[in-house]
Each structure stands twice: as structure tokens, then as C-alpha cells.
A and B are shown apart, each in its own frame.
Chain A
């Protein structure tokens, strides 16, 4: 038992030394999830904070109370994103910009608009929309509907018999990018542990050192466990950055506490690194391990509710697969804790990931050994032939 522990310690020391020699690799592994966050910040941050650029064409020759009120309503910043950033221009310029794809939405207030409203006649506003993508189309149209509803409620109350009231479930509504940053921390842990363990295995194959390691007459379980533990340690290095970003950008800090978070993520990292170990042993080449690790973790980030909460899920087999996976359970508990401090599912989810990670931790070294498939006979013959050759060269 004591020897096994010493081998474990030695294996860990060796792994730490190897990773210290590969600082660029570690930097790239930690950077990938951070760059994802950067990419999403640029992709969504602009639309959510600044709004979307819109061309406004006023064809009404005598704009009065209603026309000006509509323009004012449309251009007011909106607490529900995205806001519309209006630029007034003539019809021809707007059309050219729209045709060239430089502007995606044109709002036209037609001639006779003012008079029609004053006389209780029906009129319309015209929208020209770039419908290059379904979700983009939705995000371009919906704010206009909202603004028009606001205009009805405020300036045409006789034509707006119905309104709506919004009752939020929680006191705080966190910005989407803060939500994504926190969930990306879980992605980061999963990806880093998968890739670190996987890369550690493929390196052994690529450098031809695995055979020597196995032939060293030490417990393979301890050797592999050393790799797992180091992978778990490395996987948590980047986590503080994902919490620092929303704090710096929005001044928001999540609910819950770090120990509950770690109690979920450490078993997750153990589970993922065990998976990485087997992945590395079976693929034996980083060409496959790198994209697979990155995308497997991305799959569970999307599927676990990293980008949109799982409660929006409609029924379906794929949804069941996502909801009941042990990895999604970590996402569920971590998300509910970070967003509202709620720990309803915590014990159940902790037990689920705990059991799975324990099983994987026991099974992974054994399976890795089997998958690695060292041909001892060939290896011994190679070693013996090598020694024979050395002996002969010494004689000659």
C-alpha cells in the first residue's frame, strides 16, 4: 500500500515536471475556453449593451405629434435588449446600404402617417429586414414589435385594451454573458482535464515511453492515477478568470459558495480526466485527442445548459439523454446555485457525479492498461535483441 502511494506521488511529480516543461501547451489549453468567452462577448456583448444599427427613413412630409412620438419611442434605450440605434437617412441611401448588406434593418414611416392616425384611419410602418439567418431576423424584428406596442400603450391607449405584466421569479436578472462566463468555467474544467489526461497518454505513445513505464514493475493503477490527479489540478487553474470577467464587466458576483462549486467540479474533473486517459490510450495520437476533447466538452456545455437553460427543453429522446447524463447534473446544480443560490438538486447531483467519477477512477486505469495493449513478448524480445547487439559490439 505504501509503495503504491509512493508510486502515485512519483507519478504525480513526473507529470508536474513534464507539464512545467510545456508552458505553451498549458497556456493554450487554458486560453481556449477564455477565447470562447471572448468570442461570445464580441458576438453578443455589442448587441446586448449597445444595440443594433437601424436606418430610419421618414417619408412623412409634415411630421407632427404622433410621428415624433413614434421616432422617440423607437430610439429610446430599452432595458430589454437589444435597443435600436436609429440613424435617419433618405430612402435612396438606406436602400443602397441595405442592398450591400451594410445595414440590416430599415424602418420607413410613410407619407400620410400623421394624418391617418389623427383621423383614426389605418396606416402602417414599413420594415425592410435582412433575413439571412432565422435568429438574426428574430432579433431585428422583435424590438420593433415591442416599441410599437409601447407606442400603442402610451399614445394610442384607446386602441390598446390589453397590456401585459411581467413577474420575475428571482430578484436579480444576471446578464447573459455573466451566465455564460460562469458556465464556461465548468466547460473549462471538463475540457482541460480531458485534454490534459489525454495528451499525457498520447505523449507517452508518441515518445515511446509508455512501455518503459509499464515495464518498471510498478503498479499501473498508481501510475495512471497520478496522471488523473495532476489533470484535475491543472483543470482548475483558469477558473478564477471566469468569475473575474463578469465582476469586472458588470459588477456581478454569483450566489453560492466555492466549496459547493468545487464539490461538483472536482468529481467532474476526475470523471473527465478518466475519460481523457482512455481516449488517449485508444486514439494514441494527439491529432484526434485535441479536437475530440474540445468538442466533447463543448457538446456538454451546450447540452448541459451553458448557453440556454435546460428548462426550455421540449420533450424528446435527445433531451432525456442530455438531462440525465452525469455531466449535465453538474451543470444543473452549479447553474441553479450560481444563479439563485438554490441547492434543491445538489445532493442528488453530487451523488450522481460522485458515483460515476468513483467508478471511472477505478475502471479507467484498468481499461487504459487493456486498451494500451502493450505486447510484452515483442517488447522483451526487442530489449533482449538490443542487449545482445550491445554485447556483440563490446566484444568486437
Chain B
């Protein structure tokens, strides 16, 4: 059994050396996603800065205080709240109606007088309500500015000590990982995911195309040795990709792991073991390299999105989280991002157990599918 296992591993590694094209999708997929995401978060609004106009028609100190809060307020995490530009009223109206300005805030005349006389003073948010997410993001920020004013937390100190109800916040991480940092960490994992799935799917599909699979399956080697050999061979083949992705992510985003490197390595290892059977299944079902590749990209990218590659799935309500929990990639990403940004070993048992379960179940499924292939040939 051990001899056959070694032979299968050697054969797979030789095949990978002869045709290293499986590396291409493992690099293209994460880096294009990273590029797209970088543009999204640095230019197209997102969490970093929301482009918004400000029109101040009142020249009282109260109005100036309100404007200063809107212009200078920062989150206690590290993102900017608004990218504010002051306009006069007619220009803001023109830009807004032309669609060049998605929202602007108006501090109307009499704002300060209303406050002085004990009447309610209003600020007005004009917003192009393209969808409920846009509305949410602008309303939340304006409402936070109003709350700060009502709490007497003015710029630049934003001191809430005299507020009737102040907000004290504490965080689980010493520093909030930025959207791009998170994506950088996820991109490393994504390259491993794609390499494990697509590499194995392509390898299996190639064997079907060259009909070599039938010779292998009809040989006296035990099926377990063949499947286990494929899985073990994929470990060095997949880990190789890290020599490219790690330096690129570090140079481009300056992202370095905070957690324990051994735990991170174990997460990568268990991820590869859990995902290779899925790659093999895709290869067996499709039997053609082009379809195997499309199937692998489809599986990897969709599961990556669903599993919290762009943002953690932890925020989802339990009814929706069930769908994500059924995917192995969710556990890999959860474990990876937790240990990448936090030096902890708590809360990892469930993820590790789930990945081992996926490995075992996947191997059983592959064994069954190859068995059917043997019967067919």
C-alpha cells in the first residue's frame, strides 16, 4: 500500500512539473479579485470614504459646529466617514440633479437661531436613493453626526463625557483590519483554494482525456492508495503557490499575519486536504479540462463569496449562516482570517472538526465515484 501510495504521489508531482499551467488560475483569480476590490474600496465609495456635498446656509456658531462635526468626524475604527466637499446651494443642486453628486447635506438658514430659541433645528439630507444600501450608508452617517451634536461631542475632541447617554465601545481586535487588509489575507487563502481545487480537477480531467485513468483504476493498486496519493501530492503542489502570493500581498498591501504561523500552516494544510476531493469530484464529473477548470473556478469563487471572502459571514443571521456552514471554504476562511489578524487559538475547534469531516466525506464520495468509473470501463 505504501509503495503504491508513493508511486501515485511521484506520478502526480511529475505530471504537475511537466504541465505547470494549473498555477495560472490560482494566480489570476485572487489577484484580479484583489485589484477589483482595491478599486472598489479606494474609489467607488465603500467603507473608506463616502462622497458627499455640504451646503451651509447659516453662519451661526451652532451651524459651524454641526458642519465641523460632519467634515471632521472619524469613526473610532479606522475608516473615514465622509469625503466632504463644500458647495454653494445652486451648485450642489445642479450637480445633484445632473447625477454627479449622489448626496448632499444642507444646514439651512435659521439653524442656530432655532437651537438658541429652544426649537427643533433640522439638517436636510438630499440623497439619490438608487438602492437601499446607498440610503442606509448616508442616513447612518448623518444620523451619527446628529447624535454627536446632541451629545455635545463637537469637533475636534468629540468628547462625550457630558452626554446624557454616551457610548463606550470595546473591540475584540486591537486594530480593525481594513477592508483591503482583510481582502489581502483572503486572497492568500483564495490562491490556495483555487490551486487545490483547480489543480486536482485539471489533473483528473487530463487523465480522463488521455484515458490513463482507466489503466490506473484497473491496476492492482488499492483505490484508497490512489485517492490518498492524489490528496497528498496536492499538498506540495498547492503550497508552492504561496511563494508567489505571500510576497505579492505583502509588497502591495503590507499585510503580515499576526497569529501563530504554525496554526496558520495547519489551517492551510487541512484546507488542502478538505478541498482536493472536491477538485477530484469535479474532474470525474466533467472529464474534460476546459469544463473541469470552469467548474473549479465556479466552485471556488462562488464558495469564496458565500463563505466570507469579501466580508465575514459571522454577521449573518443564523438562518442564512446555515448555508455557509455547509461549505468547506467558509470554515477555511473563518479560521484563516481569525488567526491571521488575532493571535488566538480559541474558537478554532469547530472549524477544524468541520474541515476534517469534509475531508473524510469527500474521500468517501470520490472513492464511490471512482468505483463507478471502474464498473463503467
**A residues in contact (CB < 8 Å) with B:** 24-25, 28-29, 31-32, 35-36, 38-40, 42-48, 50-53, 80-81, 85, 98-102, 104, 117, 120, 122-146, 148-149, 151-152, 156, 159-170, 172-176, 178-179, 195, 199, 202-203, 206, 285-288, 290-292, 294-296, 298-299, 302-303, 305, 307-314, 316, 318-319, 322, 335-336, 339, 344
Contact = CB atoms under 8 A, between A and B. Distances in A.
Contacts of A47: 315-317
B128 A125 contact: no
Interface of B: 21-22, 24-25, 28-29, 32-33, 35-37, 39-40, 42-47, 49-51, 66, 75, 77-79, 83, 96, 99-102, 114-115, 118, 120-136, 139-144, 146-147, 149-150, 160-173, 176-179, 182, 202, 286, 289-291, 293-295, 297-298, 301-302, 305-306, 310-321, 323-324, 334, 337-338, 341-342, 346-347
B146 A149 contact: yes
A164 B295 contact: no
A167 B125 contact: yes
30 contacts: A28-B295, A48-B133, A52-B315, A81-B132, A98-B172, A100-B347, A102-B347, A123-B166, A125-B165, A128-B170, A131-B176, A134-B179, A152-B165, A156-B164, A161-B115, A165-B122, A166-B135, A168-B135, A172-B129, A206-B290, A286-B290, A288-B21, A294-B301, A295-B36, A308-B40, A309-B131, A312-B46, A312-B51, A318-B42, A322-B44
Contacts of B321: 46
B147 A134 contact: no
Contact of A133 (B33, B139, B179): B179
B169 A163 contact: no
Nearest to A300: B36
B136 A164 contact: no
Contacts of B142: 164, 166
- Give the secondary structure class of A's interface: helix
Nearest to A130: B172
B36 A127 contact: no
Contacts of A168: 127, 129, 135
B305 A39 contact: yes
B123 A165 contact: yes
A140 B47 CA distance: 13
Given A42-B320, A104-B314, A303-B44, A25 B123 contact: no
Given A131-B171, A146-B140, A122 B297 contact: no
Given A52-B315, A80-B132, A131-B77, 17 more contacts: A28-B294, A32-B294, A35-B298, A42-B306, A42-B316, A43-B306, A53-B317, A122-B163, A131-B173, A132-B314, A146-B140, A161-B121, A165-B122, A166-B139, A176-B131, A309-B128, A311-B130
B175 to A, nearest CB: 8
B132 A176 contact: yes
A40 B126 contact: no
B302 A294 contact: no
Contact of A131 (B66, B165, B172, B289): B172
B290 A290 contact: yes
Contacts of B179: 133-135
Contacts of B43: 313-314, 316, 318-319, 322
Contact of B150 (A35, A152, A165): A152
Nearest to B35: A299
B340 to A, nearest CB: 10
Given A47-B316, A139-B315, A165-B122, A132 B172 contact: yes
Contacts of B323: 42
A266 to B, nearest CB: 24
Closest 6 CB pairs of A and B: A46-B320, A312-B45, A295-B32, A286-B290, A142-B140, A311-B102
Given A40-B305, A132-B177, A167-B124, A203 B290 contact: yes
Contacts of A29: 294
Nearest to B298: A32
Contacts of A298: 32-33, 36
Given A149-B147, A169-B96, A312 B317 contact: no
B173 A290 contact: no
Contacts of A290: 25, 290, 293-294, 297
B25 A309 contact: no
Nearest to B293: A290
B290 A173 contact: no
Contacts of B75: 138, 141
A163 B120 contact: yes
Given A132-B338, A151-B165, A164-B123, A46 B39 contact: no
Contacts of A165: 122-125
B182 to A, nearest CB: 5
Most buried by B among A36, A101, A168, A335: A101
A314 B100 contact: no
B100 A311 contact: yes
B291 to A, nearest CB: 6
Nearest to A345: B99
Contacts of B47: 134-135, 138
A194 to B, nearest CB: 13
Contacts of B44: 302-303, 305, 307-308, 310, 312-313, 319, 322
Nearest to B100: A311
B77 A170 contact: no
A136 B127 contact: no
A30 B134 CA distance: 29
B308 to A, nearest CB: 8
A162 B121 contact: yes
B119 to A, nearest CB: 8
A199 B290 CA distance: 8
A136 B177 CA distance: 10
A51 to B, nearest CB: 7
Contacts of B141: 142
Nearest to A171: B129
Most buried by A among B47, B124, B317, B347: B317
